[in-house]
Chain A
């Protein structure tokens, strides 16, 4: 399964961020989203499309429509500057290429 993510984004503080991930085929085991800041480990944000991981604020939400998955962040804050990856965990794992989110 190939996961294609939107390119880098630059968003102003307080705005809504939408990061997309398109799957090449059905992801029956769910889509997951990670955040990675420079020099840090990936951190799980959303699992199984919609569920927030423990400790993750309600500003992070996941959604899906057929083969298109989205991660929204609202409102955008400076601490959200990071690279975001979608991931599927069928028999073999696949990560999307990552979307680098920056402040405008």
Chain B
């Protein structure tokens, strides 16, 4: 059974960056496209982008092209989401998903 384990909650300062992780267990990460989804408090789901760990190819929603960077490490079966130039608008829970399986989410709070 495939499971996704995401890194813990982050409290970060405005203007800084944060890197979130999503570790795959139960299968090899190269079997999946790894997607990341944003959900602000009380708001809907927004797709950020996806990475193919097989070849590191990525696709991003237009809105997140200058905000998010997706990477993957096949040796540790882990995908990463880096968010840069953080503002209060980035305060949200970030989910990773293979499409069928979802991680538990990482809450990022941007505050000074």
A interface residue numbers (CB < 8 A to B): 34, 36, 41-42, 44, 83, 85, 87, 89, 91-98
Give complex CA distance A85, B35 in Å: 17
Instruction: Mark contacts of B45-56 with chain A using CB atoms, 8 A cut-off: 1 yes-contact digit, 0 otherwise.
Output: 111001000000
On whether A94 and B47 interact (CB within 8 A), knowing A41-B95, A41-B105, the answer reads: yes
- Size bracket of the B interface: 10 to 19
Min distance, Cβ B64 to any Cβ of chain A, angstroms: 11
On whether A42 and B45 interact (CB within 8 A), knowing A89-B99, A93-B35, the answer reads: yes
* A and B contact pairs by CB, cutoff 8 A, 29 listed: A34-B45, A36-B45, A41-B102, A41-B104, A41-B105, A42-B45, A42-B95, A42-B102, A44-B100, A85-B44, A85-B45, A87-B45, A89-B99, A91-B59, A92-B47, A92-B59, A92-B61, A93-B35, A93-B47, A93-B50, A93-B61, A94-B47, A95-B37, A95-B45, A95-B46, A95-B47, A96-B44, A97-B44, A98-B44
